[in-house]
Structure 1
Amino acid sequence: MTPSIGDAFGEDRPAGSWLSIPHPQVAEQTAAAGFDFVVIDTEHAPTTVETVESMVRAVDAAAGETAPIVRVAWNDHVRIKRVLDTGAAGVMAPQVNTPEEAEAFVAATRYPPEGRRGMAAARASNYGRDFGEYVASANDEIATISQVESPEAVENVAAIADVEGIDTLFVGPADLSASLDVFGEYDSEVYTDAVETVLTESSVPVGTLATTPDEVDRWNDVGFDYQIVGTDAGYLATGAAESLSRYR
């Protein structure tokens, strides 16, 4: 685990990468590129808990200090505790729309008495060998990333950000723009106003996803604190298309 990743979102403008291909070699190669963190997606990717554990292990094996974060399929304490037991450094939860949902999210990542995470001698604690040490530190070291993907979340953004234990917010551009009925129209006033509200009213760092170099520049100019600067599937598609085009 990289203990400082939660704090790093606000201090170091970290760069991340998205992992939607459920294979440890992809995770290890991406981490070896030097990203500060990677997000292993289980919401829209066919990634099982067993594969998550293999991918977390692969990220840990790569040179450097890349932090493995897992995007769970839903803000559900059962899903969250299972991915944390793999040794993930943090969790990203989708569709956190109210401060109450944010509180439930944080509680799922914390051991009692601060939360409701269940005890288990799993990989995160070296299979129980370091259980006491892990339990003593995990509540402070697990990064919690709350996604902003709806008008309701935008409306409640200040209260969500103020929930103790929320390290950072993450604007999902596709989902937020779709929920605002301007899918992909990132220059539309309704979308830019929503993003400005999030950036202005959040008391914690705010990040987003860029899928092209132009989007990296766009979101940097907007003022996001950090970015996920691409996806594994996107790198593959772009590289393949460029190589084929050059040959043709």
Structure 2
Amino acid sequence: MNRLGFASRLRAGESLISTFVKTPNHAVVEIAGDCGLDAVVLDAEHAPFDPASLDRGLLACRAVDIAGLIRVADERPATLLQALDLGADGLVLPHIVNAAQARQLLQATRYRHGSRGFSNSPRAGGYGRANLAEHMAAEDGRHAIIAQIEDREALDNLAAIAAVEQIDCLLVGRADLAVSLGASSLDDPRVESAVSRVLEAAQQAGKAAGIFVASSEDLARYSAKGLRFFILGSDQAVLRAGWSQQARHFHGLVR
């Protein structure tokens, strides 16, 4: 299944494309899966997702066999536990700034050698189908763990962050990184230099590097540089671009 193989494909260095879903509606997820994306990222950090809408979104991922990742709202163990219990195929962790922070919060994602609270009753445990041993074996290490690099502080700790065993991918968040660096443009040389540093650290650690991009042109450019995981735009961006084009076309016809 495409969904279940996502983490393995990310770790193997495949080029993978996803998008942010910011509208808490299962139909958006179903459409994304039907269009051939490798994953969707339900954006609980910057969009109005609550537990019920995350639940429906991940159920829709299973319906169309697309990997469902959650960009979590915060670092609380309860937040990470809820995402995993609902059946997320991966976590996007915002504002990772050093290895100690990463290791601390990742404790909550593992049963063995971790502190994840056990329950096989949610979706992740087949609603009780899996017994204790089966559930732990199936869950530990199953999820794609993507550390978002978007702070000046993180740039001084890239090698150590990339060396954290559970982290599968370093994802550049250029907008927050630009703000942190005092830049006013994503194309600022300081931001471009940071992207290169993240890529180099990931490659040296044998991990994937990823980035959020807003255009197909940036997608091609960063793919050529060696980045492999992409979050391309969002459902909102697609709607805005499509409706804007239609409105311009219509007003051009009726003038």
- TM-score, normalised on structure 1? 0.93
The corresponding residue for 1:199 is 199
Task: Say whether 1:97 aligns with 2:97.
Answer: yes
Q: Does 1:219 align with 2:222?
A: yes
Change (3 A) 1:191 1:139: same
Structure 1 pair 83–3 and aligned structure 2 pair: CA distance change class (3 A): same
Would you say the 8 A contact 1:173–1:184 is kept in 2?
no
Name the SS for the 1:15 alignment partner. Answer: strand
Equivalent AA in structure 1 for residue 113 of structure 2 = E
Query: Distance in 2 between the 1:70 and 1:232 partners?
Result: 15
Cα deviation digits, residues 171-227 of structure 1 (max 9, x gap): 1111111111113332x2211111111111222111011112222233223331221
Match of 2:237 among 215, 230, 234: 234
* 1:119 equivalent in alignment to 2:118: yes
User: Take 2:141 and 2:179, find their aligned partners in 1: how far apart are those partners?
Assistant: 34
Normalised TM-score (structure 2): 0.91
CA distance in structure 1 between the partners assigned to 2:219 and 2:124 by the alignment: 33
Deviation at 1:102, TM superposition (A): 1.1
Which residue of 33, 37, 40 maps to 2:39? 37
Counterpart in the other structure of 1:88: 88
Conserved? CA contact 1:86–1:124, under 8 Å: yes
CA RMSD of aligned residues (A): 1.5
1:20 counterpart residue number:
22
Where do residues 146-225 of structure 1 align in structure 2 (5 Å cutoff)?
146-186=147-187, 188-202=188-202, 203=205, 204-225=207-228
Aligned twin of 1:6: 7
State the percentage of identical aligned residues: 31
- Alpha-carbon deviation of 1:131? 4.0
Q: Secondary structure at the match of 1:80?
A: helix
Q: Is the 8 A contact 2:72 2:80 kept in 1?
A: yes
Please list, as runs of the form range in 1=range in 2, the aligned pairs for 1:63-82 lying within 5 A after superposition.
65-82=65-82
Instruction: Please give the alpha-carbon distance, in whole angstroms, between the structure 2 residues aligned to 1:33 and 1:110.
Output: 32
Contiguous gaps of at least 5 residues in structure 1: none
Q: Which runs of 5+ in 2 are unaligned?
A: none
Structure label with greater radius of gyration? 2
